[in-house]
Amino acid sequence: MTKKDPAVLWYTNDFLEGTADMSLKEIGAYTLLLCYQHQRGFLPDTPKKLSRLVRLTETDFDEIWEEIQLKFVSLASVLHPSSDEGSDTPKGAIINKRMYMESKKRANYLGKKAVFAIVGNWFRHHPLSKTLKKSEKEKIKRDISYPYIFENLLNKAEIENYITKIADRFAKGSDQGSLYLQQTLFLENENVIVNEDVNVNENINNIKEPEISKFEKLVSQKFLKELSSFFAQNGNSRLQKVTAYLQKMNVTGELEEFVRQSEAYMAYKKASQERIHGWEGYTGCWRRTDWIAKLKQFHSTTQPPKKKFFINR
């Protein structure tokens, strides 16, 4: 019998952002359900069974389930049709997608020695590597972001594909620089708390290359730096994280709208002095609000300060 993983990464800022509108009772029940999912792999979909897990009567649980259930989806909705995963689970099993993804990443985690071995084998045996000069290989090695690999717990195939993408761009004489090379892979990570559709079995080779020219047109270096610093995403690996998300938006066709909304969001927060979301919280909920309209409404309803007149005596 496989030993259960005793731990999972818990992103505290994401959790606080996602439970900001919950009562203490709802947060407690939600936390217990996440813990049970981590240990069992899934949860039953009936309020009667769930109420027992959180130590509440069915009546009390029904009162808070309306809010909590938004954090869960059916297990079947995230599984690939050809996958046999979940075949031994009840038909109505439910999950929180972020907890599901984090558990899968830890299950596939590779230690540092294994990662270095995979990288080394790529340079020794991959057909593309054999076409490169020694100086070219050294430049590619410097473009590899190990913090990115470890942070996202990439598996063997993803690491090899990541290096191949960098080398392929380099071999084609691309002068885009490491900023765009670092994040040709991205994970549908998004929210502990806000769930989005994720195909966890999607073949990375089927992901289309971002249109770099379009990307550059929509994302200026000034905007990228402003966006990163606004959400305190400083440092090389953090900048790569923001770049990866923007490239994902480019692939899905949402980049232009994301840029427009983000510019309005930053302007609104600066003007209103309201609390700023964390990066994970913002990327999980930016679609929920029309920040452009909200900014216009703020400016239209904000009364300019009255001029004070002083009488000279």
**How much is the pLDDT for 214?**
61
R_g over Cα of the chain: 23
Residues 6+ apart with CB under 8 A from 111: none
Of all residues in the chain, what percent carry a pLDDT higher than 90? 23
**How much is the pLDDT for 193?**
33
pLDDT, one tens digit per residue, over 225-240 is: 888 888 765 555 667 7
The whole model's pTM is what? Answer: 0.43
Is residue 80 pLDDT above 90, yes or no?
no
Task: Judge contact between 194 and 21, C-beta under 8 A.
Answer: no
Band of pLDDT at residue 78, cut at 50, 70 and 90 = confident
Domains (ranges, CATH) in the chain? Answer: 12-107 (1.10.10), 112-181 (no CATH), 204-301 (no CATH)
What token pair was written down for 144?
């590899």
Residue 74's beta-bridge partner residues?
94
Is residue 52 pLDDT above 90, yes or no?
yes
Task: Judge contact between 84 and 201, C-beta under 8 A.
Answer: no
What token pair was written down for 134?
């020694």
Band of pLDDT at residue 190, cut at 50, 70 and 90 = very low
Q: Which helix (H) or strand (E) holds 94?
A: strand 94-95
What token pair was written down for 12?
């505290």
Band of pLDDT at residue 251, cut at 50, 70 and 90 = confident
Distance of CA 134 to the CA centre of its chain: 35
Other Cβ atoms less than 10 A from the Cβ of 29: the count is 24
Task: Judge contact between 120 and 127, C-beta under 8 A.
Answer: no
Band of pLDDT at residue 88, cut at 50, 70 and 90 = low
- Residue 25's nearest CA partner among 72, 73, 57, 49 is 57
What token pair was written down for 145?
């972001």
